[in-house]
Each structure stands twice: as C-alpha cells, then as structure tokens.
Structure 1
Amino acid sequence: MTLEEVMGYAPVLVGAGLTLITVWAVVWVVRYALADTMMRASIRQAVRVRRTWRRLAPMAGLSVTDRTPTALATVASVDGKPIKPRVLIPALKVKPDRFGVVVRASCLPKVGLEEFQKAAPYLADAWRCTRVSVVPDKPGQVVVRGVRVDPLITRTTHTPTGKVPKELARWHLGVDEYAQPVSVDLAEVPGVTVAGLPGFGKTSLVNRFLCDWAPSPAVQFAVADGKVSAAHEGDYADVLGRLFAFVGDDLEAANALFARLVRLRDARSSAIKAVLGRRDMWHIGPSAAWPWVVLIIDEAHTYMRDRKGSDKETKRLAALAADNARLVEELVRKGRSVGILVILATQKATGDAIPTFIRDVCPVGLSFAQKTTDASVAALGDDIRNWPDADPTELQDPAYVGVAVMKLSGRKGFTRLRTPYVNEHQAARIAEATAHLTADPTDLLTAQLADGEVRRILLTKNDDSADGGDSLAA
C-alpha cells in the first residue's frame, strides 16, 4: 500500500476517533447528570485522582527509577550521550462510588503493599478523603480505598426486596468505615450475641435479618421478646405472621418455648441420618421440609437473670431462669448440625445477662454503643482493650446510632460497621407477603417420619399450645 493510499484513509480514521471520543463524552455527561449529589462529588474526585496521579506519586514515594535503558532508547541514542533513566509510576484504575473512590494500582519493584500503606495518610490529604485504606488485591496489585464522606456517620436505609436471598446463610450486615460491604456466613454457626444500649440499632439489625430471610420457606423464626407481655406489643408485632412461635416476658412461657425447641433438636438429631442421609444439615443446606430454625431472644437477660430472694415467687422465678439458661445452652451447644441458630440480644452481655457458658460458645458477636469498657469486654472479648479506637464506648454519640463493632474472621483487630435502618412498615410488608410460608418445624419433621420412637419424642411436646408459647404456625 502506497503512502498516498494510506493518507486516503486518514480522514476516515480521524472521524472514527472523534466519534469514539464524542460517544465517551456523551456517556460521561449523562452518567454525571443522572447521579445524585454524593455520586457527582465522587466522580469529580475520581477525575482529580487520575489527573494528579503522575505528579503526586513521586512526592508520596510511590515511584521507582529505572536506570536500564530500553532497546528503543539505545537505538535512538546519538553521539554516545548518556540515556536518561525513566521514572516508573504505578498504573491506576479509578472507580467512584457514593462515598469516595476505589483505586486499583499495579505494584512495581520496591513499590508494593507496604509502600502504599505508608503513603495512605498523604493520599488521604491529597485526595481530600476522611480516611484511606490499602489492602492486597490479586498478585501484583493493591486496592486503595478512599472515603470522602465517613460511612459511619452517614445514615443508610435498607429496603427489603422480598426475594429469596442467593446465599441463604450469608448475613449482610452493612458497610465498614471504608464503605466496603460486611457480611458473615452463619452456616455452621450455633449462636450470635448482639449487645448495646437501648435505641442504638439492635432491633433494626434483627429486623433486617427477618426481612431478608422471610421470603425463603427454608427458614423459620421464633421470637422471645423480654420487653413486652403480649404478641401485639413491641418491635415484633408487625412480623408476627412470619413467626411460628412468640412469647413475651413470661418466664414460664419462655421456658415452654425453649423446651419445645430442645425436643425438636433431640428429634432432629435422632432423625437426621434417616431423613437427610447426613449427620450435618449444612452439608446439603436447609430446605422447606427441613428448615433452618432461628430463635431470636431479645432482652435475653429477662429470661436468664439470676434472682435473689427467699420468698416463694422469687425462688420460682430463679428456678425458671436457671432452667431457661440450661435449655438455651443446650440449643447453642448442640443445635448447629441440625440447623438451629440462637440469636441473643441484650443491653449488656455480662455474665448476669447472658451466662458465660452460653456467651462464650457463640462464635459471632456484635456490640453497639456501650457505657463502660467492661461491657465492651463482655460483648467482644478482652482483646477489645488492645483496640481503644474500636471500643463501643466511643459510639455513644447520636451520630453513631446504627454503628456496631465486631471481630471478623481474616481481619486484624475489630471492625466498625454502619448497619442500615429498616422501616417497620417495610418489615410489615414483607411479613404479610410471606406469612403463607410460616410452618412449625416440628410438624414438618413429624410429617416425614414413620419411626415410632422418633414420633413419640416429637409428640411429647404435648400441649405445646398450652405450654405458654403463642403458636403462630400457618
């Protein structure tokens, strides 16, 4: 092809290039116009990060000098003049979101994870971020997370979709202080503790749990709410239709419910091999016929707190509280493999509220704001003393309503996270739409069994309706 023929294509190539640039510009402008205020600020921030990177990187110590000339530079060199060394700068890919930017950077020799972490404070200042974190990505890359707006003080809401979750045991809690999603796998988890001062987010957290899993017939819920006396009162009145059982602050009724679930655990343990062909339900996962049973005990101290006194009524309540603690301990210690989870919520997770023989075998624990470090230690373990910045006592400001602290597997120290608010009307909507999925797990198991002995164990729940538990089975 001659030079004249090549030049003949030049207008076409130039036109194609201009068209691509125009399309890109239109897409960018439309995306910016449709974004909300926070997202627009992040888009501008992302542009600034890209534009200033080549100048900022050397000043932050994130560049390296390559003194070995390239083959092309060697050929181009004339008169034997020394070839200038090249300054190499890590390549970036920048993505904005509502809280800031996510930057993926390629590492270079002597510019790796440690160097980026050392430079994080300088990057935060230059990018006008509240904080910047650096974590490893795939080999040879790091992820730099810069948040312009502090996610911990930015109130968020959660609107339940009403759809069955893709991962049935994955509990999506919220976002951490870098606006990264935080979730916990509850498969094989027997118990969860949730502590914190009143009004700081415990109920909303549990509401999200209920709303997200209510659309699945493979999950069934029971609630013991120590704040109220009747089912129509309190925080769970709107979701009663999705509960197969509910009790209020009556210790005898709670004792009947806990005993009923212990019998269910015994029966499941006897029948699991015959029905599922496994010794552990989580090897195949829950199903509508063998659902994951979640017992929520709100204000757990109501049911297990030791009573002091010599009068007859105090002795009766003390005996019930001791038996309640024994039954709940059995559910937590033995319920994991047969698909029973206990969530215990209380203001202070001290030994007088949740006995230590129960609390210490619950592998997942969260705490919202606390008044004292001793309460924080009770909820999260003694190691929280080594991380004073994460101590829940620092969360007593109203701006931190909905912020919790927990220990996450694979992360150093403790993680602070913002949990979203779930409107009670949304919870009621989901409960009404999914009420037809409610079933008593005991009845479901009974229907599958022909074994007379197991059936006998099940039927000794005798008079469960008279045990004090409000049966709400569909």
Structure 2
Amino acid sequence: MNVQEVYGYAPLMVGAGLALVGVWAVWWVVRYVRADSMMRASIRQAVRVRWTWKRFAQMAGLAVTDRMPTALAELSNTEGKPIKPRVLVPVLKVTPDRFGVVARANCLPRVSLEEFQKAAPYIADAWRCTRVSVLPDGPGHVLIRGVRLDPLITPTRRVPTGRAPARLAAWDLGVDEYGQSVEVSLSQVPGVTVAGLPGFGKTSLINGLVCDWAPSPAMQFVGFDGKVSAAYQGDYADLVKRMFAFVGDNLEDANALFQRLVNLRETRHTAVKAQLGVKDMWAVGPCAAWPLVVVIIDEAHTYFRDHRGSDPKTKKLAALAAENARLVEDLVKKGRSVGILTVLATQKSTGDAIPTFIRDVCPVGLSFAQKTAEAAVAALGEDIRNWDDANPINLQDPAYVGVASMSHQSRPGFARIRTPYVTDADSARIAAATAHLTRDPMELLRTHGGLTLSKTIDHPGDRPKAA
C-alpha cells in the first residue's frame, strides 16, 4: 500500500474515530441525565479526580523519577543532548457511585501501598471526601475508596424485591463507612447475637433478613418475641404469616417451642445421613425439603432471666428460664450441622441477658448503640476497647440510628455498618406473598423421600399454642 492509498483511507479513519467519540459522548450524557443528584455529584467528582491526578500525584509524593532512558529515546536522540528523566505516575482508573468514587491504581518502585496510605489525608482533601480508605487490590495494585457523603449518617431504605436470594444464607447487612456493601455468609454458622439500645435498629435488621430470605422455600422461620404477649402484637405481627410457629413472653409456651425445636434437631441428626447422604447438611446446602431453620429470639433476656424468690410461682419461672437456657444451648451448640441457625437479639448481651455458654458460641455478633463499655465488650469482645472509632458507645447520637458495629471479616478491627430500614408495609407485603411457602420442618422430615421416621424422635401434637 503506497502513501496515496494511505491518505485515501485517512478520512474514513478520522470519521470512524469521530463516530466513536460521539457515541461515547452520547452515552456519557445519557448516563449523567438519568442519574439522581447524588450520582451526578459523584460523576463530576470522578471527572475532576481524573483531570487533576497527574499533577496531584506528583505533589503528594505518589510519583517516581525514572532516569534511565528508554531504547526509543536513545534511538531518537541524534543530537547527543542529555535525555531528560521521566516522571512516572501510577495509572488511575476511577468509578463513581452514590457516595463518592472508587479508584484503582498500580504501584511503582518506592510508591507502594504504604505511600498511598500515608497520602490518604491529602487524597481526602484534594478529592473533597469526608474519609478515604486505601487497601491492597492484589499484587502491585491498590484500591482507593473516597466517600463524599458519610454513609453512616445517610439513612437508607431497602425495598424487598420478593425474589429468592441468589446466594442462600448470605446476609446483606448494608454498607460500611466507605459505602461498600457488607455481606456476611451464615452458612456453617450456629448463632448470631444482635445487641443495642431500644429503638436503634435491632428489630429492623432482623425484619430485613426475614424479608430477604422469605421468598426462598429453602428457608423456614420460627419466632420468639419477649416484648409481646400475642402474635398479632409487636414488630413481627406482619411476618408471623411466614413463620411456622411463634410465641410471645409466656415462658411455658416458649419452653414448649424450644423443646420442639430440640426434638427437631435430634430428629434431623438421626435422618441427615439417610435423607441427604451426608453427615453435615451444609455439604449439600439448604433445599425446600431440608430448609435452613432460622430461630429468631428477640428480647432474649425475657426467656433466660434469673428469677429469684421463694414463692412457688417464682420458683416455677426460675426453673423454666433455666430449662430455656439449656435448650437454646443445645440448639446453638448442636444445630449447625443439621441446618439450624439461632439469632438472639437483646439490649445488652451481658451474661445475665444471654448466658455466656450460649453467647460465646455464636461467632457472628453485632451491636447497635450501647451506653456502657461493659455492654460493648459483652457484644463484641475485649478487642473493641482498642478500636475507639467503632465502639458502639459512640453511636448514641440519633444520627446513628440504624448503625451497628461488628468484627471485620476481611481485615483486622471492626466495621461500622449502616443497615437499611425496611418499612412495615414492605414486611407485610413480603409475608403475604410468601406465606404459602411456610412449612413445618418436622412434617417435611416425615414426608421427604418417602422415608418414615417412626424409629426416630417423634412427638405428635408438639405444636405449641401461640401466645
């Protein structure tokens, strides 16, 4: 191909390039117009970060001077003049979201993770962010998260979709202080504790869990609510339709239901090998015939309280509370491998509210606002004393309603999480739409695969009367 032919194709090449630029510009404008106000601000922020990055990186010490000439530079240097050294700046790729920007950069010699982390305060100022996090993003790369708005004081609402979750036993808690989604896997988890002052989000968090999981037939729920006397009262009145059993604050009814669940646990242990072909249900995962049983115990201290007194009524209550603690201990310590997950919620998860032989076996713990250091330590462990920013005693401001602290699963320390609010109307909608999926796990055991469990633990009429 001669030079004239190349020139002949030049207009076509230029036209194609301009067409691509036009398509990109139209896509960018449409994306910007369709975005809400928060997203538009983040898009503008991302553009500003890209345009100013090379200059800022050099000012912040995130650049390195390369004095070794490249081969091309040496070949093109026909006059023998000294070749100017090059200033290398990490390549930055920026993505906006509702709270700010996420940037990924490569490391250079003498510009590694440590240098990026030291420059985090300067990055926050330059990018106009309330806080910046710098984490490793694979060998030779870093992830920079900058939030323009503080996610912790930005209330969020979740509207349940009514669709079955893509991943069973995955709990979507909300977003952390950097606006990143926080998901906790509850597979192979025997128990969860949720603590915090009244009105700061415990029940809303559990409602959200039920609404997210309710559309799956592989999930079945049973409820205990220690602050009501009947199923039509309190925060779970709408969700009762999706529970195969529910009791209020009556200790006798609660004791009967706890015993029923322990019987279910024992029967499952007898049947798991025959019905599923494995010793641990999690080897195959929950299914409609063998669902994960989620035991929700709200205001747990009601059922374990140490009643003191010598009169017959008090002695009876004390005996029931002690028996309740023994039965729940059985569920938490032995229920994991047969698909029983126990969620205990209380104001203070100290030993008098949740016995330590139950609380200390639950590997996942969250705490909303607390008034005392003792309550914070009981909920999250002694290490929380070393993480003042995440300590739940600092979450008592009304702006932090719905914010919880928990041990960080991906790195040392604790994370603060903004949990989304689920309205009563949405809870009622999901419960009504999924009520037909409610099954008694014991009945499923009796009919699954045509297997008769006559030789296993069976207890006709074991369904307790709802309080």
Band the TM-score falls in, shorter-chain normalisation: over 0.9
Which residue identity is paired with 1:305? R
Deviations 1:429-462 (A, max 9, x none): 11101101101001111223324311xx122xx4
Asked if 1:453 corresponds to 2:434, the answer is no
> What is the match of residue 463 of structure 1?
461
Q: How does 1:65-214 map to 2 (within 5 A)?
A: 65-214=65-214
Whether the 8 Å contact between 1:244 and 1:438 is mirrored in structure 2 is yes
Q: How does 1:302-341 map to 2 (within 5 A)?
A: 302-341=302-341
> What is the match of residue 418 of structure 2?
418
Moved over 4 A (4+): none
Q: Give the length in aligned residue pairs.
A: 465
Deviations 1:316-360 (A, max 9, x none): 111111110000000000000000010000000010000000000
Q: Give unmatched runs, 5+ long, in structure 1.
A: none
Give the Cα separation in 2 of the matches to 1:441 and 1:153.
41
> Which stretch of the first structure deviates more once superposed, 416-425 or 441-450?
441-450
Give the Cα separation in 2 of the matches to 1:437 and 1:266.
24
Asked if 1:245 corresponds to 2:249, the answer is no
Give the Cα separation in 2 of the matches to 1:177 and 1:450.
52
Whether the 8 Å contact between 1:254 and 1:468 is mirrored in structure 2 is no
Give the Cα separation in 1 of the matches to 2:207 and 2:325.
24
Whether the 8 Å contact between 1:256 and 1:469 is mirrored in structure 2 is no
Give SS of 1:266's match: helix
Whether the 8 Å contact between 1:254 and 1:469 is mirrored in structure 2 is no
Give the Cα separation in 1 of the matches to 2:279 and 2:426.
38
TM-score calculated relative to the size of structure 2? 0.98
> Which stretch of the first structure deviates more once superposed, 19-28 or 283-292?
19-28
Give the Cα separation in 1 of the matches to 2:398 and 2:466.
37
Whether the 8 Å contact between 2:231 and 2:466 is mirrored in structure 1 is no
Give SS of 1:235's match: coil
> What is the match of residue 234 of structure 1?
234
> What is the match of residue 14 of structure 2?
14
Whether the 8 Å contact between 2:304 and 2:321 is mirrored in structure 1 is yes
Q: Give unmatched runs, 5+ long, in structure 2.
A: none
Whether the 8 Å contact between 1:211 and 1:431 is mirrored in structure 2 is yes
Give the Cα separation in 2 of the matches to 1:97 and 1:189.
32
Cα drift, residue 468 of structure 1: 3.6
TM-score calculated relative to the size of structure 1? 0.96
Give SS of 1:244's match: strand
Asked if 1:258 corresponds to 2:246, the answer is no
Deviations 1:173-197 (A, max 9, x none): 0010001111111011000000001
Whether the 8 Å contact between 1:225 and 1:298 is mirrored in structure 2 is yes
Give SS of 1:237's match: coil
Deviations 1:46-82 (A, max 9, x none): 0000000010001111111111100111112233221
Asked if 1:390 corresponds to 2:390, the answer is yes
Give the Cα separation in 2 of the matches to 1:208 and 1:332.
22
Whether the 8 Å contact between 1:170 and 1:186 is mirrored in structure 2 is yes
Give the Cα separation in 1 of the matches to 2:404 and 2:339.
26
Q: Over aligned residues, Cα RMSD in angstroms?
A: 1.1
Give the Cα separation in 2 of the matches to 1:16 and 1:283.
55
Give SS of 1:254's match: helix
Deviations 1:11-57 (A, max 9, x none): 22222222221221111111111111100100000000000001000
Give SS of 1:222's match: strand
Give the Cα separation in 1 of the matches to 2:458 and 2:90.
65
Give SS of 1:223's match: strand
Whether the 8 Å contact between 2:295 and 2:342 is mirrored in structure 1 is yes
Give the Cα separation in 1 of the matches to 2:188 and 2:55.
50
